[in-house]
Homo-oligomer: A and B are copies of this chain.
Amino acid sequence: MISSKLPKVFYGGDYNPEQWDEATHQEDLRMFRQAGIDIATVNVFSWAKIQSDEITYHFEWLDQLIDSLYESDIFVCLATSTAAHPAWMATRYPDVLRVDADGRKRKFGGRHNSCPNSPTYRKYSEQMADQLAERYKNHPAILVWHVSNEYGGDCYCDNCAAAFRMWLKQKYGSLEELNRVWNTSFWGHTFYDWDEIVPPNNLSEHWGENHSSFQGISLDYARFNSDSMLDCYLLEYNAIKKHIPHAVITTNLMGFFKQLDYFKWAKHMDIVSWDSYPAANTPPSYTAMAHDLMRGLKDGQPFMLMEQTPSQQNWQAYNSLKRPGVMRLWSYQAVAHGADTVMFFQLRRSIGACEKFHGAVIEHAGHENTRVFREVAQLGNELGALGNTLLDATVHAKVAILFDWDNWWALEKSSGPSVALKYLDQVHKYYATLFRRNVQVDLISVDTDFQKYDLIIAPVLYMVKPGTAEKLEQFTERGGTFLTTFFSGIVNENDLVTTGGYPGKLRNLLGIWVEEIDALLPESHNRIILKEKVGVLEGEYKCGLLCDLLHSEGAEVLAEYGDDFYQGMPVLTRNRFGQGEAWYVATDPEEPFLDGLLGYICEQKGISSLLRAPAGIEATMRSKDGKSYLFVLNHNAQTQQYHLDDQKGKELISGKFLEGDISIEGYGFQVLELS
């Protein structure tokens, strides 16, 4: 799609020349050319500069900037500037200011500072998008439109309260229904009038970050808040489309960002884009998983890497430099997982305010004779040479991990059974196990077509929404393998428990009944005792966190607990279901257990690794026009060896033909066009 705009991987990033003089801008253009940069994201935070009062706009500088970039063969990703409102707006229209979870009215400052239900914000942000689109609709420089920036945060003001009530009316129709799904007969919370409902925050139902007296209202407020911001996005989106029906419009997402249900958002984005900011000690598997989620948001379509740092960040506790080669490696990791752009925050480092110690292509030194610039330029040249070879290539995974924002919200708002239970931890454990095997994975929503997969894993599927259990049963019945874990099937879409026995709607599929759920103290463990070998699994393994106490109702018991009063109870079960099978892992096992278990299942299902390689060597594959491209990334600092079994092909950067035993340098990258 965006490949039609520019026949190569877009290369560039956020650019704020409004902080500099014209001479610096010219110098920037020279260096951009030198680095192979061909796209600049501009106007991200220029609202105050463009609009000095309710009716006065100043576009001349932006006209010149876009023209100047275009004349230097730099295309534009045009942001709408609405991610931080102007100070004058906050002073004159305080409804743009948020009220935080402690009920405190904010004052002007920071960014992401606008109430999503502020009439003023909605009016002027929509007008801004309208003005920009009208003005630049025919400008050839503009390849992509970038609405606002990194939507997030929340608000609890009276406008939000009123909008929340309206949202609830539309959802539930009647207070009777609302009282039912929120279970307000508990603690005497029955509502007799819509106006009695107040947003749930630290002044009402919440205490601490993750606790609510009423999960029902809290869950709905999370959905409402996500929807409110999506409404803001859509106002701008539609304003642009009105003028430019074929505009490519995005907003930059943030991977596993809890506040917004990106599956819902992605439906309204022409292309997904995101900002990737791993810390120095973030596991490569975690970054890979986030890329796969971003790819999964639009069912496998390529996405944009909108931001990453060329060198270091400023907002981590300890902002280590990316080691030589790491920026390049992580850029290619994005491409390996489906990105068709490589973009940075920021092209030139600002000299004042809180991001002045965030890395940039052009550092404070101001010239090209820096390690960082050299690495950027090297990558720019490589990407130029690759041309459009990889653009639009797709990933074909046989394994999917189910991910669901509602499940995330509901699970972590629950009180009990253990504060140590974190959804992302569990999802990542299963993802990382497949990552270590170099098995390609999709992250999918409950709405995705399940039938294209051989194996679907749903860690801690606490909430089972309407239709999901049926879809999983069909998937399994037709031969699919399904795996889920402890504390699954507990509640419905309203966080109301499915009575009659856990795992509720999954009970039939899994062939088990979970009678109780034990929470272990942080240092406590139980043991998983294999009844007989399952693949390489044998003997015993440690487990902890939660232990489901379950009974088989037809499922085969492959392992039992080794300790405590539930010693001998099933801990690993497999239920034959139609042509397929449904697995249940009743606790949180140690890594070797997961390696063995998923290894066994993959082998049984014929799901092969893309590459057998030493630890830290990652492999992915993208395909296009009948050709397959094998990406090999070495996340180790040292040179490693790996072996191509029956694959071979031309390595596109070096141009060398590779087969058999291959050496890859520390932080190195190879991409083979398989032949």
Binding site for B on A (CB under 8 A): 16, 18-19, 45-49, 52-53, 81, 84-88, 90-91, 102-111, 181-193, 195-198, 200-201, 203-207, 211-216, 280-281, 311-321, 323-324, 349-358, 363-366, 370-372, 414-420, 494-502, 513, 515-522, 549, 564-565
Report the bound CA distance from A197 to B109 in whole Å: 9
Q: Are B417 and A45 in contact (CB under 8 A)?
A: no
Cβ contacts under 8 Å, A214 to chain B:
109, 352-354
Residue contact B215 to A314, C-beta cutoff 8 Å: no
Are the C-beta atoms of B109 and A205 separated by less than 8 Å?
yes
Q: Residues of B contacting A319 with CB < 8 Å? A: 416-418, 519
Contacts of A85 in B (CB 8 A): 188
**Nearest chain B residue, comparing its CB with the CB of A497:** B351
Task: Name 8 A/B residue pairs within 8 A (Cβ), A-sorted.
Answer: A90-B196, A108-B204, A212-B354, A313-B416, A352-B496, A357-B415, A363-B516, A365-B513
Whole-angstrom CA separation of A494 from B203 in the bound complex:
34
Report A101 CB to chain B, min CB distance, Å: 11
Do A351 and B87 touch across chains, with their CB atoms under 8 A apart? no
Chain B residues lying within 8 Å of A106, measured Cβ to Cβ, are 203-204
Task: Name the distance in Å between A197's Cβ and chain B's nearest Cβ.
Answer: 8
| Inter-chain contacts of A108 with B (CB < 8 A) | 196, 198, 204
In the complex the two chains form, is B314's CB within 8 Å of A364's CB?
no
Contact assessment for B187 and A111 in the assembled complex, using a CB-CB cutoff below 8 Å: yes
| Contact (Cβ within 8 A) B416 A515 | no
The answer on a CB contact under 8 Å between B186 and A109 is: no
Residues of B within 8 A of A200 (CB): 109
Pick the residue among B190, B352, B501 that contacts A216 (CB under 8 A).
Answer: B352
Check A497/B190 contact, CB under 8 A, given A185-B49, A371-B516.
Answer: no
Within the assembled complex, what's the spacing in Å between the Cα atoms of A168 and B651? 61
CB <8 Å contact, A354 and B110: no
User: Shortest Cβ distance from A438 into chain B, in angstroms?
Assistant: 27
- Whether the pair A352, B420 counts as a contact (CB closer than 8 A) is no
Nearest B residue (CB) for A199:
B107
Instruction: Flag if A213 contacts B109 (CB, 8 Å).
Output: yes
Contact call B192/A323, Cβ cutoff below 8 A: no
- Contact partners of A201 in chain B: CB under 8 A: 107
Contact, CB under 8 Å: B196 / A91: yes
Shortest CB distance A627–B (Å): 36
Nearest chain B CB to A91's CB is how many angstroms away? Answer: 5
Residues of chain B contacted by A16 (CB below 8 angstroms): 185-186
Does B501 lie within 8 Å of A365, measured CB to CB?
A: yes
Chain B residue with the shortest CB-CB distance to A348: B499
Chain B residues in 8 Å Cβ range of A515: 363, 365, 370-371
Q: Is the CB of B189 within 8 A of A87?
A: yes
Instruction: For the complex, give the distance between the alpha carbons of A355 and B214 in Å.
Output: 9
Task: Select which of B19, B316, B365, B497 is within 8 A of A352 by beta carbon.
Answer: B497
Compute how far the CA of A358 lies from the CA of B357 in the bound complex, rounded to whole angstroms.
45
Residue numbers in B under 8 Å from A495 (CB-CB): 352
A41 smallest CB distance to B (angstroms) = 15
Closest-by-CB residue of B relative to A504 is B364
**Contact (Cβ within 8 A) A49 B320:** no
Q: A90-B196, A312-B519 are in contact. List 17 more A-B contacts (CB 8 A).
A: A16-B185, A48-B190, A49-B185, A87-B189, A87-B192, A104-B203, A109-B213, A110-B205, A110-B207, A110-B213, A214-B353, A281-B521, A314-B417, A317-B418, A352-B496, A356-B497, A357-B415
The answer to whether A358 and B416 touch across the interface, beta carbons within 8 angstroms, is yes
Query: Which residues of B lie under 8 Å from residue A206 when comparing CB positions?
Result: 109
Interface centre among A353, A365, A496, by most chain B C-beta atoms within 10 angstroms, is A353
Bound-state Cα–Cα, A321 to B364, Å: 52
Assess whether B213 is in contact with A280, with CB atoms less than 8 Å apart. Answer: no
Which partner residue on chain B sits nearest A20 by CB separation?
Answer: B185
Q: Which residues of B contact A349 (CB under 8 A)?
A: 497
Among the listed B212, B352, B502, which residue makes an inter-chain contact with A182, where contact means beta carbons less than 8 Å apart?
B352
Residues in chain B near residue A496, CB distance under 8 A: 351-352
CB-CB under 8 A from A500, the residues of chain B are 364-366
Closest 3 CB pairs of A and B: A183-B352, A109-B204, A314-B416
